[in-house]
Amino acid sequence: MKTKWSRKHNKCKKCGTTENPHVQHGYCTKCWGVKVHKKYKSYYKKYYKNYWAENKEKLSKRNKEYYQKNK
């Protein structure tokens, strides 16, 4: 008896393969990573831009110290 790829899906919703293991919502490991990356890319870009702006002096100092030690 052949088992299903996941409880609700016979194959990945995006790529249609059953070679990669199921992760969530009908996506395999490869396709789920791409979906999540696209969804949160703009969020993280804004977050780190704001973080850098708020902590610019502290981060610059830390980076200079690091590069001086590791020349």
N residues, the chain: 71
pLDDT tens string 2-60: 678 899 999 999 999 999 999 988 999 999 888 887 888 888 888 888 998 999 999 99
Is the pLDDT assigned to residue 1 strictly greater than 50?
Answer: no
Could you give the 3-state DSSP secondary structure of residue 43? helix
H-helix segments, 1-71: 29-54, 56-69
In this predicted model, which residue has the larger pLDDT, 58 or 1?
58
Question: Rounded distance, CA 37 to CA 11, Å?
Answer: 21
In the prediction, which pLDDT does 48 show? Answer: 87
How is residue 26 written in tokens?
């009908």
Tell how far CA 39 is from the center of its chain: 9
Give residue 38's identity as a one-letter amino acid code: K
Q: What is the pTM of this model?
A: 0.52
